[in-house]
Structure 1
Amino acid sequence: MDERQRLTLVKAVGQAIASRRVSVGLSQEKIAETLGISREAVSRMETGVAVPSVVRLAELAEIFQCGIEDLLTEASNRKVDQARKILELLDELADEQRELLMSVIKQLVEGLSKK
């Protein structure tokens, strides 16, 4: 993994942490208090300035009531992880909505493949 890829991954993990925090309705201050760290430390993790340790990821996953892998796979650019995320998103839709979305995705892929 080169430096650019590493930075992209760290930033994406930070965005996943921020997204989970917002989705459960917690402030950076509350996360900091729970973890016994400063709000600035939480901010640095969320912006990708600081890399959370595996232990810290486990603590965050517990707070967010998700798996550690959820924080990592949301950030992943691997096809299998992206497919898993799409599957989760599709699962929330009714049949008609999924069919419409699949049609749009097919058109997008066809259009992007020609370029």
Structure 2
Amino acid sequence: MDELQKAALVRAVGQAIALRRAATGLSQEKVAEALGITREAVSRMETGVAVPTVVRLAELAEIFDCGIGELLTDASNRKIDQARRILELLEGLSAEKREMLMSVIKQLADGLVDR
């Protein structure tokens, strides 16, 4: 993994943290208080300026009532993780809606292929 990929991953993990925080209805202040850190430290994690440790990711997962893997998988640029995320998005949809979504994904992918 080169430096650009690492930086993109750190930003994506931060974005996943911010999305989970927002989904749980918590402010940066509330998360900071639960972690015993400053609001600015939470902001730095969310913006990708600071890299959360594995222990910090575990603490965040507990606060957000999710798995550590979810914070990482949502942020991952690995094809297998992205495929799993698509699978999660398909769950709960009718066969017709899954087919429609797959058609849209295929059209997008075909349009984005470097030729």
TM range (shorter): over 0.9
**Secondary structure of residue in 1 paired with 2:51:** coil
Letter aligned with residue 61 of structure 1: A
TM-score scaled by length of structure 2: 0.93
Paired position in structure 2 for 1:67: 67
CA offset at residue 114 of structure 1?
Answer: 6.3
Residues 84-114 of structure 1 show CA distances to partners (whole Å, capped at 9, x for unaligned) of 0001111132222111111112222233336
Assess, with a 3 A threshold, how the Cα gap between structure 1 residues 48 and 114 changes in structure 2: closer, same or farther.
closer
Output aligned runs, 1:1-115, within 5 Å.
1-113=1-113, 115=115
**Secondary structure of residue in 2 paired with 1:102:** helix
Structure 2's unaligned 5+ residue stretches are: none
Which shifted more, 87-96 or 42-51?
87-96
Letter aligned with residue 16 of structure 1: A
Letter aligned with residue 86 of structure 2: I
Aligned length: 115
Residues 39-65 of structure 1 show CA distances to partners (whole Å, capped at 9, x for unaligned) of 000000000000101100000001111
Residues 7-49 of structure 1 show CA distances to partners (whole Å, capped at 9, x for unaligned) of 1111110000001111111110110011111100000000000
Q: 2 CA distance for matches of 1:114 and 1:44?
A: 35
Query: Alignment RMSD, CA only?
Result: 1.3
Structure 1's unaligned 5+ residue stretches are: none
Letter aligned with residue 46 of structure 1: E
Assess, with a 3 A threshold, how the Cα gap between structure 1 residues 75 and 114 changes in structure 2: closer, same or farther.
closer
CA offset at residue 5 of structure 1?
Answer: 1.3
TM-score scaled by length of structure 1: 0.93
Q: 2 CA distance for matches of 1:79 and 1:43?
A: 28
